[in-house]
Structure 1
């Protein structure tokens, strides 16, 4: 036990050093007046199982709440900013001219959720919805601003819904965070079911990062077991750097049944955060760090139709840990935006079967053709 503890703390300390530059003070979500010239806005619905906070500008903390809470948050995006980046308020209140800033923060009762979906249709008959589930070590303010950045940079014309579960935002609270995802399974399933049943929604796409992928896949599995299938409107699931046991993931997907959504996985063999997770998990391969060049890994994925794995290992632009390339790499953000706007699958081609589908591709992935991307499409089984 002592050796395990020393090893885990050493690995976690290395991870902490890599992210220490992201330290921030509280209060980033304190609402400010809108109106800065050239800014854009992202109007999102937030569903959270976090406990409310009485600290100004924090809104929800990392502890577990008594139930599911909803809020409408509007985030202002400054005009001069590189894609994939978040400009955090430095001190005191945010300045919308240079910072991400909250301009509207309104609690939403459960009875008002359907009205929110209705109001964001902008006169259209129905609208597509994007649900985002954040990962491990994520404070509430980080989840809000990261999702606002993704929605803005992808330019996807979708109604944004953030599902935020109780993460303490501390690197040593991995186990607490993991249990918090289990705590939140019913609630995420409820949010997905509510969106799918809304007459104002035409399609639901779910995007999950890191540990949030475990929560997402488990909630989808739960919906399938409870309702007989995943709701038909839940058409696509995007798992970015999923912190998921490969063996467990394969069984979860099969237990969703044949009427399951298409699943796209963004992986990287150089993901430093998932190296730590693998150490904690006793050396078991994480889905987000799977090596697509190894036949045994392809065999795990090829049993199910509708699974596409996109290997981003060779991409150099992104975060220092190679754990958030889906949001921080301008190339991948553009790829995501192109596909989300068009309602297309990520690889943009007809699925092929088996290990022969693993190949180096170029034009298939459009905007990232200059970088080697390894794509695998499963389909040998059911």
Structure 2
């Protein structure tokens, strides 16, 4: 009965009412005061082309990666944190999110040329979406994040093959594994561009697994993550907490600066934990509790607890994008590489628990040197030793290469 109830709850809360097929471009409005602006982005995907201008790419796995330049028009009078989906097609740029430009690219050189033309080309944001997303879902969500945050960075979307079906969890998870080399190569290509100064990776939900796997592969090949990848932000990461500890170790040192947005009331991660054997997901832990607090702080990982943040997301799974305060934090501070070290950080009401501290204590965690691998494990501490069981502890002196055979 519990399993049935969970499944029904998730289906009801994740059912989408917006129209499909929003990728066909409409004429761009010029000088219309009802239009707030536009977002230009580069989209890399491992999806299969759909053969339709309305969708561009479907949820199946492609035989090769594709690059596309896309422009999204943003309407005025919209509540921050929301995606204004059209009620009918074609969309009206005065009231709806609307695609106004689509250009397929045949070579990496075209992508680099596009990047050099962007005003914020020296800083790159790579966004990786989560489970149950169409190509259009991911494009509109990134456009919303970029516009609402006022970030000074060039947006790049990496979208992987999701069938966008609530029953497709296992297919989507395998699709992230299918795409990890594609993401690794995309990050390498971006880092190899002389015009790119630094890169921030922002991953949501199941996309966090993909991000960690790509960074882990890069670390195993090179001994460390490319130094241009300065920041990694994981929002509601749908990752087994024990697996995350291994991934973190194996990407080598020095590592990028990590920030994790967590929420213990995340219903989507609760369902994921049920499906995957009742092991806690990284995005649903309470970072103020031990052993998590000490180990996150030792690893230099900033953990921001969003449990008390209220948004219109019934699953409490998209708070990072739907909270104006959080999306501003991402755009104005984290992407620019600023550690949260001063007491002037204003995150809004309820956003206080940061690895057991308050807003003014964020810096103590963010500024910690990343001197030892994370030892985050699910098992409780031994009452006698105050240490996790030996078989699940990652020794602080253990090098990543010792874990790889």
TM-score normalised to structure 2 length: 0.84
4+ runs deviating over 6 angstroms: none
CA contact (8 A) 2:125 2:335 kept: no
CA contact (8 A) 1:267 1:313 kept: yes
Is the contact made by 1:213 and 1:243 (CA closer than 8 Å) also made in structure 2? yes
Is the aligned partner of 1:374 residue 2:353? yes
Q: CA deviation at 1:342?
A: 4.5
Cα 1:110–1:51 change in 2 (3 A) is same
Q: Distance in 2 between matches of 1:364 and 1:276?
A: 37
RMSD of aligned Cα (Å): 1.8
**Structure-1 separation of matches of 2:309 and 2:197:** 34
State the match for 2:24 in structure 1: 30
**Structure 2 counterpart of 1:275:** 270
Question: What is the distance in 2 between the residues matched to 1:196 and 1:341?
Answer: 16
Please report how far the alpha carbon of residue 78 of structure 1 lies from its aligned counterpart in structure 2 after TM superposition: 0.5
Unaligned segments of structure 1, at least 5 residues: 1-5, 351-362
The 8 Å contact of residues 12 and 171 in structure 1, kept in 2 or not, is answered as no
Structural mapping, 1:147-162, within 5 Å: 147-162=142-157
Question: Paired residue for 1:221, among 193, 208, 216?
Answer: 216
Aligned to 1:334: 328
2:201 is aligned with 1:203 = no
- Write the deviation string for residues 251-284 of structure 1: whole angstroms up to 9, x where unpaired: 1111112211011000000000000000011110
State yes or no: 1:11 paired with 2:6: yes
Range 143-152 or range 221-230, more displaced: 221-230
Q: Show the counterpart of 2:42.
A: 45
| TM-score, length of structure 1 as denominator length | 0.89
Query: How many Å apart are 1:109 and its aligned residue?
Result: 1.6
Aligned length: 357
Equivalences for residues 36-185 of structure 1 within 5 A? 37-38=32-33, 39=35, 40-111=37-108, 112-120=110-118, 122=119, 127-185=122-180
Which residue of 2 is the match for residue 349 of structure 1?
341
C-alpha separation between the residues in 1 aligned to 2:254 and 2:213? 16
Indicate the residue corresponding to 2:359 in structure 1: none
Please list the CA deviations of residues 34-53 of structure 1 after superposition, one character each: whole Å capped at 9, or x if unmatched: 01513211000000000111
Structure 2 Cα separation of the partners of residues 302 and 341 of structure 1: 21
